[in-house]
Amino acid sequence: MTSQQRVADRRDQLSDFLRVRRARVKPADAGLPEVGRRNTPGLRREEVAILAGVSASWYTWLEQGRKIRVSTAVLDSISSALALDPVDRAHLYSLADMNPPKIEFVATESERRVLEHFARAVRHPAFIVDKYWRILYVNPSASRIIRLDESSANFLEIFFLDRQYRDIYVNWDEVAECFVGSLRIRAGTESDDSELAGLIGRLSSDRTFRSLWQRHSTAHRKARVVTLRTPDAGAQNFDATSLDLSGCDDIHLIGYLPRD
């Protein structure tokens, strides 16, 4: 498929999407009176235009897939008029050849319990944190080897600000760069998150964190192997991994599997 064909195909999909979603919205649901006989299900184009604050001709051109200038503000207004949820709104952006907004899914209680079940079932260190690295669950192995417990407030604050962790994590410098890289990447996409900014501010009291942050380190996958000083076997290498629930970015399971 050529570039022109792909553009034409996307416009056709945009046209179909808008027509189908317009047909699903009842005038009463949009706060409009149902006056006179209606020959089309759902809203008329003119009604969508009124709700979105654009001219009827402009909306007609958009729905016909014509090449016109579209802004994010107008797409948001159309999304509201058509009662689109966040996923549909992002899809509309993509069809209109605009960068889609970030979609953030929050794990349900049952999904959290599933992740906790996995952490509880493994014999090796595993713990669960939320999107701000607040500790939600610690399995017995992580409690014994990493000296974590669920009363510990925030894993990254413990890791950077509690000096004992530089002894527990033998390759602390590599792991530190990995954590800073993850935070740096997230801060680049969520610059208006005040809670994230607060966490970064607290961590910046540590000289190493501050140095890595100022270097704009993004080595978030560097520490694939974590060396922990265990109570029984001394220094031991572990493969580190992070498991997320599908579609959810507000909860993560951090696990360490011993290397053979």
Longest dimension (CA), the chain: 81
Q: Say if residue 55's pLDDT is above 90.
A: yes
Residue 103, pLDDT > 70, answer: no
* pLDDT (0 to 100) of residue 18: 93
Query: Is pLDDT at 88 greater than 80 in this prediction?
Result: yes
| pTM tops 0.75 | no
- 120 and 58 share a domain? no
Neighbours of 239 (CB within 10 A): 14
- Provide the terminal-to-terminal Cα distance of the chain, rounded to the nearest Å: 48
Write the DSSP assignment of 208-255 as a string of letters. Answer: HHHHHHHTT---TTS-SEEEEEETTTEEEEEEEEEEE-TT--SEEEEE
- The pLDDT assigned to 246 comes to 60
Q: What is the pLDDT of residues 10-38, one digit of tens each?
A: 888 999 999 999 999 988 888 877 666 77
Q: In this structure, is residue 103 part of a structural domain?
A: no
Total domains in the chain come to 2
Count, in order, helices (H) and strands (E) of the chain: 12, 5
Assess whether pLDDT exceeds 90 at residue 6: no
SS3 label, residue 194: helix
**Mean pLDDT of all residues in 220-237:** 84
Q: Would you say residue 11 lies in a domain?
A: yes
Q: What is the CATH number of the domain that holds 197?
A: 3.30.450.180
State the pLDDT at residue 35.
66
- pLDDT tens digits for range 123-171: 999 999 988 999 999 999 999 999 988 777 899 999 999 999 999 999 9
How does 15-47 read in b/e, with b if 16+ C-beta sit within 10 Å? Answer: bebbeebbeebeeeebeeeeeeeeeeebbebeb
In a domain, 234, yes or no: yes
In a domain? residue 129: yes
Domain boundary among 63, 95, 127: 95
Tell me, yes or no, whether 90 lies in a domain: yes
Range of the domain at 38: 3-95
